[in-house]
Structures are given as structure tokens and as C-alpha cells.
């Protein structure tokens, strides 16, 4: 299987990396330092080794990791250009993330009882929420960071995966659970309790992802119009209530409809983002020639705008296409997977990547209201990178899970 | 295919639709919205570029420096040598309140950059910037000063131009403001009900009154409605509305020429009725009513009523009353075209863009906007306008030894105080200068208050300007 994959994509990826790294070198010509060389060589080695190791050990899909390699290469180069310190840190996070990827890939393959641990997933999710509320600190208006031993991370990143496993375990065992005729309502209640808690944490972006994953999986696996209708009405009701009750929701909507009157305060982020994208035009100002530092969180939530400014909107569209490809591969993995549990997991993870990319890109270009999220694999940030690779490892595992005939469940 | 697979595919398609929406919006954004957003004054990138560049100087037609920039303690300073004189033409460039005038419209020349595009970077390697291009204007500084003196204490505008080239020789609009203390007085200036920020010469729209009779006359000459002899009794009733002549005294039996020089309202009102709304409108629109005049500064569009709403309205249009409004520049353009034997020149105020090394980057001028009428009609118009000065309402614009031609206007308007208009050109046989004077809500006739100002401008211009031709 390993030899069946064409070498052309990875060679193209290297060409991209070499070209953009030489731009970085030119940009930093006057103060070339160890970090620049280390990051450049580190990135190329990381991509080379992780891809070739994966090709040898995994019989599953080889494209998802390649697509992700392209994504994190663009991200790392952009972050390094904005701040070389952050770039070096990001490279370390990528190293850890890829380690986590292989770890989660092996774990998902070795353990066979994933579909039987529904209570564990519930416990993990509520436990993480409790931890956030007890230990959490407020950052940029949202209480979603927890600091343990000097390392801070966002528990919600892991909760997303717990949600996917919870839903997969539920729909996999639907026959068993549906003996209780209220089971679907209970699941809905649990999911909405997550969403409500996220609203309280002011983490609207993640709440949207939770809603999207649930709605998508429910659409496929839940038979019963009334549940879907109930879900949609709850969403409308919740959205309206949120708008009326919470000022932070109102602000998002106001600045989405017209941010220009609030250019100096609450509309600042989105207008700076639009300036950057407008400045970049089709082909960008060139690496190092724009001013992405004018955008708040230019290396994080607004990395898409930074990339659009310096590499052009065509690169931005390229990134969107990469996410389309990633979601496509993920759905294809699901369609080829015989085991229903892993099928649902693959769908859930693909949905998660797709939705997250859509919500933050859509927010940054003002198609939808802005909610703070990271762009998976591209934005700077340890917990985002690590949890995205954790999910990708699961997807990789799901792409090759071969089930014994007697387990075949349909 | 089972239900599950079908739904999986549907879900995938809807996700893709979402992504396509993003791509579609990004393309739309770049094509239609990006430019305006880029030029938003809150875009800090605009200032990053500019702060590295020594903005170019602006000089008048004789080389006199009006505005320049200098470096002082590694900070770039913009020096406006005249507090008020160029507040509308050159305008201002501030970080807080944005830009106006030529500072705005010629910004990219003045900073010599179209942003940090790759091509510009290459150009900059060959030709290191840091200094912007200079602008040479068609304005003459002394005439500009003279205009402001003449208008002082009034509201309105004076514009002088060379009818054969389209060069704007001077342009004053009052009230104006001090560009050097703009930052301290912004609130006061921007809230002033007299709107000192408006350049009345090109952005003010006024009822043109009798100056519009030039248009009615041109239309009647075109359609040969000019041979009628009309018996003027001083008043004319149209649908119950009474048109009056000045002092309501009748002119007796008169033709077009005399009616024009005496500015007979009843004649032109009935002439307009004979021509009809469409023919007058056709002529007006060929003379840039309902169209934007191409110009170096932002202009407002003069309006002629789109649709006819009754005979009173048509009659009022013929004498420049009713719903017509015109910018002073527009009336000047019509006058200049008549002076220039029917050829309308594009007005312009920036003659050349000069690189810091003294090379011409771009030279403007001598663009023809079109021919407004036949040679015969134009000669008749010229004669009629000469008659206005010699035997009619405009005798206050008469200059010894130089034949002047022109038209006065006294426009009634909502304020109750008339606007006083004068448009004219001189010398008659070889026009070198055309001028428009509008005194807003002056309350007196154009012949008595605007014509003498126009005369002084023309004398000054003929004596002091080095004409290029």
C-alpha cells in the first residue's frame, strides 16, 4: 500500500516550502540567526520524516496527513514571519503535535472497546467543563483557558473529541439505547447542556461547532423528523435568548452587520482584518512586505487575514480548498469504513475540522459574525495544534480499521 | 445506495456549499469592495507608506511654491504657506481627519507610490524614493489672492479659466478655513452652518437664473425658434403663474438678441414653452447638466429636471428658475465653450506631475470635451453676449480698450435673497480669460454686484498672467 501513493504531491510540498523559506530568508537577510535556519531545516525534516514514517506504518489514507502538512507549513511560515520567537515555539508544538498524532493513531488501533465507553466520554466532558469553571481564567472575554503547572490549554479542544466519541458510541448502540424511548431527548439535552456551558464561558465559536457536529450526525443517524425539528427550534430559541441575554453576543452581531461605526472599539478586530485582506489583493504584498501585525491576534484567530495580506487571496482560497480536500478525504474514509462506530468518528472529526475552518474564516472575512476560534493546523497555539493532531491521528486510525466479519455491524 | 451513504454525501455537499460561499465572497470582496476599504482613512497601512515619504511640493503656474514638506527632527512636516488661500484647491492631509482636495485626489502622485506592490519595489530599487512627486498647477497665485480679496466678506465663488485650454487660473470659494489650524478647530469648522469645507465653485449647486438663458438661446438657435418677434408687456401668465420682468416694465416688441441683452424673462419663458421641455433638456444635457464634469477635484452634478411637470415648470426652466440647479464651474464651462468658438475644453487644475529629479512624470491638458453648437449659432451667441455688456444688463463689466462679453443672472431662491451671477469672457476677439462670479444670497442683481467683480478679475488676469499659447 505504501508504494501506491504518488510522490508528486510531497515533492510539490517541498518546492512550496523551499520557495517560501527562501522568502523568509530574504526577509530576515539583515539579521539572519540560528532560529531562522533551525526553523527552516526543522520544518523540512519534520514534514519529510513524518510523511515517510506514516507511509511505512499505515495502510490507510495517506493524503490527509499530506494535506495537513501543507496547512501547517503555510501556518508556520506565516507565524515565523510575524514573530520568530512564536515561530520557533510553533515548530516545537508541531513536533509535539505530530508525536501525539502517532500516539493517538496507535492507541485507536490497539484498543477495541471504544464503542462501549459512553459514560467515560460523558464524564470526561463534564469533568473538563468543571475544571474550566474552577481553574479557568478569562482571556479576551472568554473563560476557556486552564493553566496547570505553567502550561495553559483550552479544555474545550478535548471536549470536542469527547463529544464526537459520545455521539458515535450512542448512535452505534442506537438499538440498545432506543429501548428507552426518551434516549434521543436525553442525548439532545446533554449536547445542549454542553452548548449552554460554552455560552456561559463566552466561547461562542466552540458552541457553534458543537451544534454543527450534533446537527450533522443527527441528520445522518437519527430517524425521526421531530428530533431534527426540535434541534433546530432549540437552536433558534437559544440563539435568540443568547442575543437578548448576553451583551457579548449582541456585540458580535452588531459588528457583523456594520463594523465601520465602531472602528475604534468593538469593530476594531474585524475592520483590521478586512483592511489586511483588501491590502493583499489577489497575489498579496509579498512575504514580509505587508503589515499583518496591525491585526490583533494576527498569528492566531486572524491568521487567515495575515496570510491573505502577504500571500494574497489566492492563497487564502487555496487554504479553503485544502480544507475542502481534508473534509473530502475524511468523508471518503467514513464511506469506506465498515465499522459504524469508526465511521461516525471519522465523520465527526471531518465535520469538526470543516466547521471550525468555516466559522473562523467566515468570521474573519465578515460572512458570518466573528467568533474567536483557531484555524486548525494553521493558527499558532499549543492546545489547538495538539488537539487537532490528536483528532487527525484518530481519523488516520479510522481510515484503516479493519474489522472482523463477526463484528460487522449493519 | 442506502440512506446513510446518501445523507453522508448530502452533508458533504452542504459543507462544500459553505466553503464555496466563502470563496465567492472573497472574490466579490476583492473585485468590488477592496479598493474602497483599502483607502479608508483608518487603514494604518496608508500612513505607514506615507510617513516614509517626503510628500511632494505643489507650485503655481509661475513656479511659486504653495505647499512643501520638510524633515525636522526626523519627523515629516507639511508646510502650507497660505492659511486660507488654497483650503479648497489643495485641501489638507491629516491623520485624524483624512484628506481633501488635491492632497486627496493626487495623493498617489504626491507620495510617489501605489503601495508596496512587488513591481513598485523593483521600481524603488532603481529609483530610490523617499521623496514624492511635485505638482505644478494652472493656478496663478496673485490672481488667486486678488480673487479672495474681491470676494472677501461675501459668500460665493469666483473661478477664472483660459477658455482655449481649460486651464483653471484661479478658484476661490468663501467662506473658507485655515488649513494650518485645522486640527485645533475641526469641530468648529465641520459644524459651521455656512459649510466652509465645501468648495462652492464646483460642489455648490445654485439656481442659475438668467445665466441659463445661454442654454435656452443655444437650443432655440439650434431649432430655429429664434426668428420670432415677441411683444413683451412686462408680465406673462402661464397656467395662473405670473412671470415678471425686472421692475415689471415691458420691453415692447423684441427679438432674441435684445431679449438676451435686456434679459427679458417673459420672452425666454414663452420661448421655452415653444421649444418644449425635451429640446431645452437635450441642450442642457449636452452641456453637462445631469452628467459629471470630469475634473481634478470632486464636482457635484448640475441638475435639469428629468421629466416635465406642467407648463409653468417648462417656462421657469427657460429662465433658469424652477427646479434647475447648476454648479458655477458648469456655467463657466458653457461660457468658455462659447468663447472658444463652440469647442468645450476639459477644465483642469494640475498642469504637470514632476519627479523630484525634475523630470515630467505626467503632463495634462488640451483635452476637448466636445463641440457644443454650430459655428453660425456660436457667432450669434458671442454677439448677443457682447451686446449684454455694451447695451444691456452687464455694462458694469465693461473694460476700457478691451471688449468683454457675458451674461448676468439674478436668481430667485428659497432663501428669499437673490443669488447674483455673472459669467463672461474677454477679449472678445481673442478670448484669454473666462470668469464666473456667484454671490450666494447677495440680495442684489448680478449686473450690479457680480459684474464689477468679474471685470476686476478679467483686468487683473489680462495684465498679469503669462498665457501659455
A406 versus A167: the higher-pLDDT residue is: A167
Q: How many domains in chain A?
A: 1
Q: Is the pLDDT of residue A287 over 70?
A: yes
Q: Do B43 and A327 make contact, defined as CB atoms within 8 angstroms?
A: no
Does residue A88 carry a pLDDT above 90?
yes
Interface contact flag, A320 B12, Cβ < 8 Å: no
- How confident is the model at residue A163, as a pLDDT? 96
Those residues with Cβ within 8 angstroms of residue A205's Cβ, 6 or more apart along the chain or in another chain: A356, A359, A360, A363, A371, A372, A373
* Per-residue pLDDT reduced to its tens digit, B55-102: 899 999 999 999 998 877 767 788 999 999 999 999 998 877 778 999
In sequence order, the β-bridge partners of residue B215 are none
Backbone angles phi, psi at A3, to 5 degrees: -85, -10
| Residue A239 neighbours by CB distance under 10 Å | 16
Q: Are residue B262 and residue B406 in the same domain, yes or no?
A: yes
Any B CB within 8 A of A282 CB? yes
Q: Which of B19, B29, B45 sits opposite A365 (nearest CB)?
A: B29
Structural contact between residues A399 and A333, judged by C-beta atoms closer than 8 angstroms: yes
What one-character-per-residue DSSP string does A132-182 give?
A: HHHH-EEETTEEEEEEETTEEE-HHHHHHHHHHHHHHHHHHTHHHHTTSTT
Is A61 exposed, middle or buried, given 0-12, 13-18 or 19+ CB atoms closer than 10 A? Answer: buried
Residue B361 has φ and ψ, to the nearest 5°, of -85, -40
Domain count, chain B: 3
Q: How many CB atoms lie under 10 A from the CB of residue B43? A: 21
- The pLDDT value recorded for residue A312 is 94
Assess whether B167 and B213 both reside in one domain: yes
Instruction: Using a cut of 0.80, tell me whether the model's pTM lies above it.
Output: no
Identify all chain B residues contacting A331, using CB atoms and an 8 Å cutoff.
Answer: 8-9, 11-12
What is the model's pLDDT at position B246? 67
Residues of A in contact with B114 (CB under 8 A): none
Q: Give domain status of residue B357, yes or no.
A: no
B33 to chain A, any CB pair closer than 8 A? The answer is yes
CATH code of the domain in which B76 resides? 3.90.1310.10
CB contact under 8 A, B7 and A328: no
**Is B401 strand, coil or helix?**
coil
Number of CB pairs, chain A paired with chain B, less than 8 A apart: 109
Complex ipTM value: 0.93
Q: Which residues on B lie below 8 Å from A264 (Cβ)?
A: 42
Higher per-residue confidence, B197 vs B227:
B197
Question: Are residues A331 and B8, on separate chains, in Cβ contact within 8 Å?
Answer: yes
State the cell numbers at A285: 504584498
Partners of B433 in the β-ladder: B426
Query: What mean pLDDT do residues A146-150 have?
Result: 71
Asked whether residue B101 falls in the same domain as residue B164, the answer is no
C-alpha cell at B392: 444691456
Best of A172, A288, A324 to mutate (most B CBs within 10 Å, chain B): A324
First to last CA, chain A: 27
Q: Does A219 touch chain B (CB under 8 A)?
A: yes
Over residues B269-318, the pLDDT tens digits come to: 989 999 999 999 999 999 999 999 999 999 999 999 998 888 889 999 99
Band of residue B467 on the pLDDT scale cut at 50, 70, 90: confident
Q: Examine the domain organization and report whether B133 and B183 are in the same domain.
A: no
Helix axis angle for A84-110 and A382-398, nearest 10°, is 30
CB A333 within 8 A of CB A395: yes
Q: Is residue B217 part of a domain?
A: yes
Q: What are A333-359's pLDDT values in tens digits?
A: 999 998 999 999 999 999 999 999 999
Is B307 buried (19+), middle (13-18) or exposed (0-12) by CB count in 10 A?
exposed
- Residues B63 and B165 placed together within one structural domain of the fold: no
b/e sequence B3-26, b meaning 16+ C-beta within 10 Å: ebeeebeebbeebeebbeebbebb
Supply the mean pLDDT for chain B.
Answer: 89
Indicate yes or no: CB of A362 within 8 angstroms of CB of B22. Answer: yes
Residue reference for cell 533551525: A38
pLDDT of res. B188: 87
User: Measured between alpha carbons, how far is residue A124 from residues A160, A184, A197, A359, A386 in Å?
Assistant: 11, 20, 14, 25, 17
A 141-170 residues with CB below 8 A of B? none
- Residue of chain A whose alpha carbon sits nearest to that of B40: A275
Helix (H, G, I), strand (E, B) or coil at B171: strand
Give the count of beta carbons closer than 10 Å to the beta carbon of residue B249: 12
| Residues across chain B | 469
Tell whether B324 and B459 lie within a shared domain.
yes
- Is the pLDDT score of B47 beyond 80? no
B22 vs A283, A294, A320: nearest CB? A320
- CATH number assigned to the domain comprising residue B437: 3.40.710.10
More confident residue, B114 or B295: B295
Which of A102-116, B31-45, B437-451 is predicted least confidently? B31-45
Give residue B115's pLDDT. 44
Whether residue A138 is predicted with pLDDT greater than 70 in this model: the reply is no
Contact B8 A277 (CB under 8 A): no
Q: Kindly identify which residue of chain A lies nearest to residue B35, measuring between CA atoms.
A: A278
Q: Distance (Å) from the C-alpha of residue A60 to the closest C-alpha of chain B? A: 20
User: Which residues from chain A sit within 8 angstroms of residue B116, using beta carbons?
Assistant: 285-286, 289-290
Which pLDDT value is given to residue B122?
Answer: 60
pLDDT of residue B230: 79
Q: What is the pLDDT of residue B348?
A: 97
- The pLDDT value given to residue B191: 86
Cell of B442: 447677495
Is the minimum CB–CB distance between B37 and chain A shorter than 8 Å? yes
Q: Give the integer Cα–Cα distance in Å for A131 and B342.
A: 85
Rounded Cα distance, B206 and B173, in Å: 14
The grid cell for A94 is 508541531
Per-residue cell: B267:
420672452
Among residues A152, A138, A74, the alpha carbon closest in space to that of A314 is found at: A74
State the average pLDDT for chain A. 89
Q: State the residue range of the domain holding B66.
A: 46-139
Q: Rounded CA gap, A104 and A389, in Å? A: 8
Q: Which of B107, B139, B171 is the last residue of a domain?
A: B139
pLDDT at A308: 96
Nearest CB to B45 within list A279, A308, A367 = A279
Beta bridge partners of B59: B65, B136
Confidence of residue B183 (pLDDT cuts 50, 70, 90): confident
Answer whether B22 sits within 8 Å of A331, measured CB to CB: no
Expressed as residue numbers, the domain containing A341 is 2-407
Contact B8 A334 (CB under 8 A): yes
Q: Cα–chain-centroid distance for residue B35?
A: 26
Sort A203 into a burial class: Cβ within 10 Å, 0-12 / 13-18 / 19+: buried
For residue A60, give Cα distances in angstroms to A1, A350, A386, A394, B75: 8, 16, 21, 12, 62
Q: What are phi and psi of B233, to 5 degrees?
A: -105, 5
Contacts 24+ apart (CB under 8 A), A129-135: A129/A155, A129/A159, A129/A194, A129/A197, A131/A155, A132/A156, A132/A201, A133/A201
Amino acid at each position: 500500500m505504501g508504494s501506491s501513493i504518488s510522490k508528486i504531491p510531497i515533492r510539490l510540498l517541498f518546492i512550496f516550502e523551499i520557495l517560501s523559506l527562501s522568502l523568509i530568508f530574504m526577509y530576515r537577510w539583515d539579521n539572519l540567526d540560528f532560529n531562522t535556519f533551525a526553523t527552516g531545516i526543522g520544518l523540512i525534516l519534520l514534514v519529510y520524516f513524518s510523511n515517510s514514517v506514516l507511509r511505512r506504518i499505515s495502510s490507510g489514507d495517506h493524503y490527509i496527513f499530506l494535506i495537513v502538512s501543507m496547512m501547517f507549513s503555510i501556518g508556520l511560515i506565516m507565524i515565523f514571519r510575524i514573530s520568530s520567537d512564536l515561530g520557533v515555539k510553533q515548530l516545537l508544538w508541531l513536533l509535539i503535535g505530530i508525536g501525539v498524532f502517532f500516539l493517538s493513531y496507535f492507541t485507536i488501533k490497539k484498543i477495541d472497546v471504544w464503542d462501549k465507553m459512553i459514560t467515560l466520554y460523558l464524564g470526561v466532558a463534564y469533568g473538563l467543563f468543571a475544571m474550566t469553571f474552577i481553574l479557568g481564567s478569562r482571556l479576551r472575554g472568554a473563560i476557556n483557558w486552564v493553566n496547570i503547572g505553567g502550561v495553559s490549554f483550552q479544555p474545550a479542544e478535548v471536549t470536542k473529541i469527547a463529544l464526537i466519541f459520545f455521539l458515535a458510541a450512542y448512535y452505534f448502540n442506537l438499538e440498545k439505547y432506543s429501548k428507552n424511548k426518551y434516549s434521543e431527548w436525553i442525548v439532545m439535552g446533554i449536547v445542549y447542556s454542553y452548548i449552554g456551558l460554552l455560552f456561559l464561558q463566552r466561547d461562542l465559536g466552540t458552541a457553534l461547532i458543537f451544534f454543527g457536529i450534533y446537527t450533522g450526525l443527527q441528520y445522518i443517524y437519527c430517524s425521526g423528523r421531530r428530533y431534527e425539528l426540535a434541534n433546530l427550534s432549540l437552536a433558534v430559541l437559544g440563539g435568540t435568548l443568547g442575543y437578548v441575554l448576553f451583551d457579548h453576543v449582541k456585540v458580535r452581531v452588531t459588528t457583523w452587520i456594520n463594523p465601520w461605526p465602531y472602528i475604534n472599539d468593538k469593530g476594531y478586530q474585524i475592520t483590521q482584518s478586512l483592511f489586511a485582506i483588501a491590502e493583499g489583493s489577489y497575489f498579496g504584498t509579498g512575504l514580509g512586505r505587508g503589515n499583518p501585525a496591525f491585526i490583533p491576534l494576527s498569528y492566531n484567530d486572524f491568521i487567515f487575514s495575515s496570510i491573505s495580506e502577504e500571500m494574497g487571496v489566492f492563497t487564502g482560497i487555496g487554504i479553503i480548498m485544502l480544507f475542502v480536500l481534508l473534509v473530502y478525504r475524511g468523508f471518503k474514509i467514513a464511506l469506506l469504513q465498515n465499522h459504524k462506530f469508526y465511521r461516525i468518528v471519522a465523520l465527526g472529526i471531518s465535520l469538526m475540522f470543516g466547521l471550525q475552518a468555516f466559522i473562523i474564516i467566515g468570521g474573519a472575512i465578515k460572512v458570518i459574525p466573528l467568533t474567536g476560534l483557531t484555524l486548525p493546523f494553521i493558527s499558532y497555539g499549543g492546545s489547538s495544534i495538539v488537539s487537532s493532531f490528536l483528532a487527525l491521528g484518530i481519523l488516520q486510525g479510522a481510515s484503516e480499521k479493519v474489522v472482523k466479519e463477526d463484528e460487522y455491524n449493519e | 445506495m442506502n440512506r446513510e451513504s446518501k445523507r453522508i454525501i448530502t452533508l458533504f455537499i452542504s459543507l462544500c456549499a459553505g466553503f464555496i460561499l466563502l470563496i465567492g465572497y472573497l472574490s466579490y470582496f476583492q473585485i468590488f469592495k477592496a479598493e474602497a476599504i483599502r483607502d479608508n482613512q483608518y487603514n494604518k497601512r496608508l500612513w505607514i507608506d506615507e510617513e516614509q515619504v517626503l510628500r511632494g511640493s505643489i507650485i503655481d503656474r509661475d513656479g511659486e511654491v504653495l505647499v512643501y514638506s520638510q524633515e525636522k527632527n526626523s519627523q515629516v512636516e507639511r508646510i502650507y504657506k497660505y492659511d486660507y488661500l488654497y483650503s479648497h484647491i489643495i485641501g489638507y492631509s491629516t491623520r485624524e481627519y483624512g484628506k481633501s482636495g488635491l492632497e486627496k485626489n493626487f495623493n498617489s502622485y504626491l507620495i510617489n507610490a501605489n503601495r508596496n506592490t512587488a513591481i513598485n519595489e523593483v521600481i524603488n530599487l532603481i529609483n530610490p524614493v523617499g521623496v514624492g512627486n511635485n505638482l505644478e498647477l494652472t493656478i496663478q497665485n496673485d490672481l488667486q489672492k486678488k480673487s479672495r480679496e474681491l470676494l472677501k466678506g461675501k459668500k460665493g465663488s469666483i473661478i477664472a479659466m483660459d477658455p482655449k485650454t481649460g486651464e483653471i487660473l484661479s478658484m476661490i470659494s468663501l467662506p473658507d478655513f485655515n488649513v494650518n489650524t485645522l486640527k485645533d478647530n475641526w469641530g468648529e469648522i465641520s459644524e459651521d452652518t455656512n459649510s466652509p469645507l465645501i468648495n462652492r465653485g464646483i460642489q455648490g449647486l445654485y439656481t442659475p437664473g438668467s445665466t441659463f438663458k445661454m442654454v435656452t438661446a443655444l437650443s432655440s438657435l439650434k431649432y430655429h425658434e429664434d426668428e420670432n418677434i415677441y411683444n413683451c408687456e412686462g408680465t406673462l401668465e402661464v397656467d395662473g403663474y405670473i412671470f415678471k420682468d425686472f421692475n415689471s416694465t415691458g420691453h415692447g416688441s423684441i427679438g432674441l438678441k435684445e431679449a438676451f441683452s435686456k434679459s427679458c424673462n417673459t420672452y425666454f419663458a414663452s420661448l421655452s414653452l415653444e421649444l418644449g421641455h425635451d429640446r431645452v433638456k437635450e441642450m442642457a444635457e449636452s452641456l453637462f447638466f445631469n452628467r459629471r464634469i470630469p475634473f481634478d477635484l470632486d464636482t457635484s452634478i448640475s441638475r435639469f429636471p428629468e421629466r416635465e411637470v406642467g407648463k409653468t415648470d417648462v417656462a421657469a426652466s427657460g429662465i433658469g428658475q424652477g427646479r434647475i440647479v447648476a454648479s458655477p464651474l458648469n456655467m463657466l464651462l458653457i461660457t468658455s465653450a462659447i468663447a472658444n468658438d463652440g469647442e468645450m475644453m476639459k477644465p483642469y487644475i494640475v498642469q504637470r506631475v514632476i519627479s523630484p529629479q525634475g523630470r515630467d512624470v505626467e503632463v495634462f491638458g488640451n483635452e476637448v470635451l466636445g463641440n457644443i453648437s454650430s459655428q453660425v449659432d456660436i457667432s450669434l451667441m458671442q454677439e448677443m453676449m457682447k451686446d449684454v455688456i455694451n447695451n444691456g444688463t452687464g455694462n458694469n463689466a465693461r473694460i476700457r480698450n478691451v471688449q468683454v462679453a457675458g451674461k448676468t443672472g439674478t436668481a430667485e431662491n428659497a432663501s428669499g435673497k437673490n443669488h447674483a451671477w455673472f459669467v463672461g469672457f474677454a477679449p472678445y476677439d481673442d478670448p484669454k480669460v473666462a470668469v464666473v462670479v456667484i454671490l450666494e444670497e447677495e440680495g442684489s442683481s448680478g449686473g450690479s454686484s457680480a459684474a464689477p467683480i468679474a471685470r476686476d478679475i478679467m483686468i487683473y488676469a489680462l495684465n498679469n498672467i503669462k498665457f501659455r499659447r
